[in-house]
Structures are given as structure tokens and as C-alpha cells.
């Protein structure tokens, strides 16, 4: 009796709660996507999957989205590590640098995208500076950093917005475990460079992995970043889903469900990876 | 000599960091105050606060602002009330249960909003709530609940339950223990969670767009509409207005960064 009630309290209750509150909306949402992909709901025709897999535009969109998410996450991680290692100490400049670096943290993604647009577009501020310095003679000569095939402005916005988040994490890891590990390694005769390469960096990366995955997934699924900054050919995946969904023919609607389902599977795989890499759960 | 080179590198890195972090924000401030800031002028010639006043005086823009605030507050309140007991129940359970709940919560956060939005849109339409503020609220609740469950899971995983046990030993029943022991101790995490919940809803674009079907206008959608209409000044003022509550509760994002290892949308 006692074991049953404690089983109910400690396992069944949280699982049921989580299932009902978190699992159900996800299941319903994904269920509708599956039904839509099969042509059962939402004004669609079946056969979307084979069309999507054969569609070069979908592949190009996926490549663009993965490019943005990978390069953006990589640069944000590198930047966060660099700032944490350069300004992680307790000198006067360090505290100021850390505060400045985390300024963009709470800025919503839409606002970040617009800010980067105003800075990097061909009539933006950098272009004005270039004109003043007579490096270019007008907006059209300024290199296209916005709506460009390499999505430079999207990646800039990603780094601007996500570097602070990863930096805070790196700093808290450094303050928790950095000093003692470093001292131990130095005592054992390691040089400064050896400590960095074999102790500090691996420790930081191990602690940051789940968040790096989180950033990657978030950027991959973001609609507002490509909406404001990305090229229209190819479209980033979330934009492609929107475009197909708003098209007038039923075949495109079906494809929107299939692409959304593929994006969902990618995100769910990342969620599993995220939990896998977390050692504190 | 080495020291000099090191400090020079640090100074250069500091300047680069300063420019990188502040330039986009300064662009928003300048653009929001500039009427007719023509190429290639480096700074606006006339300062004009009309875009800021319009946020509160223009009926359409004010409605968007009010919708955003209402959605943010309601989402934060309800998500906190639900996520707190859920996070606690999961944290007190076995490792396997904890991990399953964390996985579900992270999935709610990580799903591409466009994909989740399409599914939720059909659900909301089936319920007869398509294009309504209530329908959008339900949609915002999904990722917000995910974030806050992760927050409270973190809070209660490190929780010291001895005070509660003492209260129970002294005869306090469940309700009294919540009222007199748990809630006062939890004031800080609850405030942080509500702030984070507000921000998740406040910054939402895709879910509002899809579930609201264009009928529910919020501040982020208004800002995007202004941008697409070429109204840079209004878009910049709206974008900054979006950042203000977030800047005020910077502490909450820091808490989120510590507890959820998820990204503040």
C-alpha cells in the first residue's frame, strides 16, 4: 500500500502532469503535421513526402538553414570562449568588458535582426561610413551583407544575440571549476598553454555542450531572423514552410506539412542530444 | 615586452567587443529618433520623438502593445502556476522521471515555432478559437511552460527539503506548508520565472502569426509590419520598446541561463 502510494506520488504524478501539460500539445501539434503530411487534414493532397524529397529547393533551403545555424553557433561559441578567457579575471577592465558583452542578451530576436539590418544593409550605417571614407561611391557599391547568399547578416545577428548567453555560461563554469583545476594542472608542471588546451577548454566545452545544442536548434527554427535578413532564394527552412503553406494549391500545403515534420524531427533529435549531454539532470 | 603585447591585445579586443555589442543598439536608438535620415548622413539631423509617442497614441499601435502586455502577463502567470508544481514533482522523483520531464520540456522549447504553430493552428481552429487572443495565449503557453518547467526543475533539484519536513513534523498540513514555508522561500524563483515567462511570450513571432492568423496584432508583428512598409523609424522605436522590459528583467535571463541551459527567445 505504502509502496504503491509512494510510486504514484513520486513517479506517476509528475509523468502524468508532464504528459498532459507538455506532451499533449506537442503530440497534438506533431499529430496534425503527420495527418497533414498524409493528406488527411488541412486542405492537402497526399504524396507530399516523395515530392519534397525530390525537390531541390527543399534541399537548398535545408542546406542554407544548417549553414546559418552551424556557422552562427560556432562563431558565437568561439566568441564566448574568447571573451571568457580574455576577460574572465578580476582586473578593472574585466568586469566592464563582461557587462558590455552581455548587453544584447535580453534583446528579442526581432529587435536584434532589425538592428543588424540598420547597420549592415546597403543603405545602412556601415555603408554610410564607407561612403564617407570614399571606399565606395554609393549604396550599390557597398557589398551585399543583407539578403546575401552566405547569410552574413543573419549569422551576425545570431552571434550578437547568442554570444552573451554562452558567455554567461562559460563564466559561471570558470568560476565554479576553473581555478582549482588550473591550479592542480599548474602544480603538476603544465605550461599556461597546456592548461588552456588540455584542461580549461575541454572543461568549458563539456559544460557548454547542452547550451550549444540549444542555440543551434533555436537558430534552426527561428522565423524572424531569416524573415528580416535572409535571402529569398533559397529560403531558410521556416520561411519555406510558410511560403508553401500560404500557396494557393493543395499540393504545396501538403509539402508544407512534410517540411515542417522534417524540421520537427531535426529539433527532436537535438532535444534528445541535449538531454544526453546534460550531466546534471 | 610580452606583458605590453598582451595588454595591447586585450585593449584591442575590448574595443572590438564594445563596438560589436553596442553598435546595433545605438543604431536602433538613433533610427527611432530620426526623421528623414538620408544617405550618406552619419547621424540624424533632426531629433523627433513622434515614433515613440505613436506607440501609445496611435490606436493600432497601442492595441498591439496592449495585446502583447496582456498575453505576456497571462502567459507568465498561468505558466508559473503550472510549471512550479510540475517541476517540483519531477525533481522529487527518480532520475528517469526527471530526465523524461526535462526532455519533454526541452522539446516544447526546441520545436521550430513554425512547425509547432501549424499543428497548434489546426488545434485552435478545431476548438473554434482561431484568430482569437485566447487561442494565441494557449499557443504561447506551450514553449513558456517548457522554459519554466526547466527553471523549476533546476530550482527543486537543488532544493533543501528539511524546512518543509520540520513543518510537517510540527503538524502543518500540505496547504499550510505551501503557504507558510514553500511560497515565502520561493518568492525569488517565482518572480524570476514570471519575468522569463513574460519575455518568452513577449518576443514570440511565429506562433502569434500562425495561430492569430493575422487577426491578433502584437508588438513584434507590428514592428515587422512597419519594417516591411519601409517605416524604419517606427520599426526601430517598436524594436527598442520590445527590448525595454527585457533589459529591466536582465536578472531573469541570467537565472534562465543558469537553470535551463535553454535560450531566451
CA distance linking residue B132 with residue B215, whole number of Å:
7
* Chain B positions in Cβ-Cβ contact with residue A223 (cut-off 8 Å): 113-114, 205-206, 209
Confidence band for B233, pLDDT divided at 50, 70 and 90:
very high
Question: In terms of residues, how long is chain A?
Answer: 281
Give whole-number Cα distances, B265 to B3, B43, B228, in Å: 41, 31, 22
CB contact under 8 A, A83 and B17: yes
Q: Which residues pair with B47 in a beta bridge?
A: B34
B193, B148 contact by CB (below 8 A): yes
- pLDDT on residue B261: 46
Picking from B102, B109, B118, the nearest residue to A257 by CB comes out as B118
Q: Flag whether pLDDT at B264 surpasses 60.
A: no
Q: Search chain A and give the residue with CA nearest B21.
A: A101
CB contact under 8 A, B242 and A110: yes
Q: Which of A165, A213, A170 is nearest to A82 (CA)?
A: A170
First-to-last C-alpha distance (Å) of chain A: 29
Least confident of B39-43, B129-133, B229-233, B246-250: B246-250
Q: What is the mean pLDDT of residues B201-216?
A: 91
Q: Which of B256, B13, B48 is nearest to A105 (CA)?
A: B256
- pLDDT on residue A238: 92
Q: Flag whether pLDDT at B46 surpasses 90.
A: no
Give whole-number Cα distances, A84 to A42, A47, A99, A168, A169, in Å: 49, 50, 12, 8, 9
Q: Search chain A and give the residue with CA nearest B18.
A: A100
Q: Which residues pair with B34 in a beta bridge?
A: B47
* Chain B positions in Cβ-Cβ contact with residue A218 (cut-off 8 Å): 110, 263, 265
pLDDT tens digits along B158-176: 887 788 888 888 888 888 8
More confident residue, B165 or B132: B132
Q: How many helices (H) and strands (E) does chain B have?
A: 14, 0
A222, A229 contact by CB (below 8 A): no
pTM equals: 0.87
Distance in Å, alpha carbon of A264 to nearest chain B alpha carbon: 6
Distance in Å, alpha carbon of A160 to nearest chain B alpha carbon: 7
Q: Flag whether pLDDT at B1 surpasses 50.
A: no
- CA geometry: angle at B60 spanning B58 and B66, to 5°? 95
Q: Which of A131, A155, A143 is nearest to A67 (CA)?
A: A155
Give whole-number Cα distances, A267 to A235, A255, A257, B189, in Å: 19, 18, 15, 28
Q: Which of B6, B12, B13, B106 would best serve as a mutation to test chain A binding (most A beta carbons within 10 A)?
A: B106
Q: Which of A277, A270, A246 is nearest to A65 (CA)?
A: A270
CB contact under 8 A, A10 and B93: yes
- pLDDT on residue B220: 95
* Chain B positions in Cβ-Cβ contact with residue A87 (cut-off 8 Å): 10, 13-14, 17
Q: Which of A85, A110, A161, A240 would best serve as a mutation to test chain B binding (most B beta carbons within 10 A)?
A: A110
More confident residue, A8 or B244: B244
- pLDDT on residue A1: 44
Q: Search chain B and give the residue with CA nearest A11.
A: B93
Q: Which of B111, B253, B263, B103 is nearest to A277 (CA)?
A: B103
Q: What is the mean pLDDT of residues B34-62?
A: 88
Instruction: Please list, in sequence order, all residues whose beta carbon lies within 8 angstroms of the beta carbon of residue B177, skipping any fewer than 6 positions away.
Output: B164, B167, B168
Least confident of A103-107, A188-192, B218-222, B259-263: B259-263
A13, B89 contact by CB (below 8 A): yes
* Chain A positions in Cβ-Cβ contact with residue B120 (cut-off 8 Å): 25, 28-29
- pLDDT on residue B164: 80
Confidence band for B94, pLDDT divided at 50, 70 and 90:
confident
CA distance linking residue A93 with residue B9, whole number of Å:
13
Grid cell, residue B118, equals 501549424
* Conformation bin of residue A159: beta by default, left when phi > 0, alpha when psi is -120 to 50: alpha
CA distance linking residue A189 with residue B105, whole number of Å:
45
CA distance linking residue B125 with residue A208, whole number of Å:
40
Q: Which of A34, A76, A80, A106 would best serve as a mutation to test chain B binding (most B beta carbons within 10 A)?
A: A106
Chains A, B: CB contacts within 8 A come to: 299
Flag residues of chain A having pLDDT under 50.
Answer: 1, 281
Mean residue pLDDT of chain B comes to: 86
Phi then psi dihedrals of residue B47, to 5 deg? -95, 130
CA distance linking residue A46 with residue A254, whole number of Å:
7
- Omega before residue B40 within 30° of 0, cis: yes
Picking from A101, A257, A271, the nearest residue to B110 by CB comes out as A271
Q: Search chain B and give the residue with CA nearest A107.
A: B243
Q: Flag whether pLDDT at B208 surpasses 90.
A: yes
Most distant CA pair in chain B, distance: 75
- Omega before residue A234 within 30° of 0, cis: yes
CB contact under 8 A, B21 and A160: yes
DSSP B84-110: HHHHHHHHTS-HHHHHHHHHHHHHHHH
B200, B132 contact by CB (below 8 A): no
Q: How crowded is the C-beta side of A266, counted as CA atoms within 13 Å?
A: 23
pLDDT tens digits along A130-151: 998 989 888 888 988 888 889 9
- pLDDT on residue A2: 52
Phi then psi dihedrals of residue A184, to 5 deg? -60, -45
Q: Which of B39, B256, B263 would best serve as a mutation to test chain A binding (most A beta carbons within 10 A)?
A: B263
Grid cell, residue A13, equals 504524478
Amino acid at each position: 500500500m505504502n509502496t504503491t502510494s509512494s510510486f504514484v506520488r513520486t513517479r506517476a504524478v509528475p509523468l502524468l502532469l508532464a504528459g498532459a501539460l507538455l506532451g499533449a500539445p506537442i503530440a497534438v501539434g506533431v499529430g496534425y503535421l503527420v495527418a497533414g503530411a498524409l493528406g488527411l487534414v488541412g486542405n492537402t493532397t497526399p504524396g507530399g513526402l516523395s515530392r519534397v524529397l525530390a525537390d531541390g529547393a527543399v534541399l537548398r533551403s535545408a542546406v542554407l538553414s544548417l549553414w546559418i545555424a552551424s556557422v552562427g553557433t560556432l562563431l558565437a561559441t568561439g566568441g564566448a570562449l574568447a571573451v571568457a578567457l580574455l576577460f574572465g579575471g578580476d582586473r578593472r577592465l574585466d568586469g566592464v568588458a563582461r557587462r558590455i558583452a552581455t548587453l544584447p542578451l535580453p534583446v528579442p530576436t526581432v529587435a536584434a535582426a532589425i538592428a543588424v539590418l540598420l547597420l549592415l544593409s546597403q543603405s545602412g550605417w556601415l555603408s554610410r561610413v564607407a561612403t564617407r571614407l570614399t571606399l565606395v561611391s554609393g549604396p550599390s557599391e557597398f557589398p551585399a551583407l543583407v539578403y546575401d547568399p552566405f547569410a552574413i547578416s543573419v549569422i551576425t545577428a545570431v552571434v550578437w544575440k547568442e554570444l552573451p548567453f554562452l558567455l554567461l555560461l562559460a563564466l559561471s563554469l570558470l568560476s565554479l571549476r576553473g581555478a582549482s583545476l588550473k591550479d592542480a594542472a599548474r602544480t603538476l608542471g603544465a605550461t599556461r598553454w597546456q592548461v588552456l588546451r588540455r584542461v580549461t577548454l575541454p572543461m568549458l566545452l563539456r559544460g557548454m555542450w547542452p547550451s550549444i545544442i540549444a542555440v543551434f536548434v533555436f537558430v534552426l527554427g527561428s522565423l524572424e531572423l531569416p524573415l528580416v535578413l535572409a535571402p529569398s532564394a533559397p529560403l531558410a527552412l521556416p520561411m519555406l514552410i510558410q511560403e508553401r503553406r500560404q500557396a494557393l494549391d493543395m499540393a504545396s500545403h501538403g509539402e508544407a506539412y512534410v517540411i515542417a515534420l522534417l524540421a520537427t524531427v531535426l529539433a527532436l533529435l537535438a532535444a534528445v542530444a541535449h538531454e544526453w549531454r546534460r550531466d546534471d539532470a | 615586452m610580452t606583458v605590453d603585447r598582451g595588454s595591447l591585445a586585450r585593449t584591442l579586443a575590448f574595443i572590438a567587443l564594445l563596438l560589436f555589442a553596442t553598435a546595433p543598439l545605438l543604431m536602433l536608438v538613433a533610427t527611432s529618433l530620426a526623421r528623414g535620415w538620408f544617405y550618406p548622413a552619419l547621424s540624424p539631423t533632426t531629433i523627433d520623438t513622434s515614433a515613440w509617442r505613436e506607440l501609445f497614441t496611435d490606436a493600432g499601435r497601442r492595441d498591439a502593445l496592449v495585446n502583447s502586455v496582456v498575453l505576456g502577463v497571462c502567459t507568465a502567470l498561468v505558466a508559473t502556476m503550472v510549471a512550479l508544481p510540475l517541476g517540483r514533482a519531477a525533481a522529487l522523483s527518480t532520475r528517469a522521471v526527471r530526465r523524461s520531464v526535462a526532455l519533454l520540456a526541452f522539446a516544447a522549447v526546441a520545436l521550430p515555432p513554425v512547425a509547432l504553430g501549424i499543428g497548434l493552428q489546426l488545434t485552435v481552429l478545431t476548438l473554434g478559437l482561431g484568430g482569437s487572443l485566447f487561442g494565441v495565449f494557449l499557443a504561447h503557453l506551450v514553449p513558456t511552460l517548457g522554459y519554466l518547467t526547466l527553471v523549476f526543475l533546476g530550482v527543486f533539484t537543488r532544493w533543501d527539503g528539511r524546512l518543509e519536513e520540520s513543518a510537517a513534523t510540527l503538524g502543518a498540513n500540505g496547504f499550510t506548508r505551501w503557504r507558510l514555508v514553500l511560497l515565502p522561500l520561493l518568492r525569488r524563483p517565482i518572480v524570476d520565472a514570471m519575468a522569463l515567462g513574460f519575455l518568452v511570450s513577449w518576443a514570440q513571432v511565429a506562433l502569434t502569426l500562425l495561430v492569430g492568423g493575422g487577426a491578433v496584432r502584437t508588438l513584434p508583428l507590428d514592428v515587422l509590419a512597419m519594417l516591411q512598409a519601409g517605416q524604419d523609424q517606427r520599426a526601430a522605436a517598436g524594436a527598442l520598446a520590445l527590448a525595454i522590459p527585457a533589459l529591466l528583467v536582465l536578472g531573469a535571463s541570467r537565472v534562465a541561463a543558469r537553470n535551463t541551459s535553454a535560450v531566451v527567445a
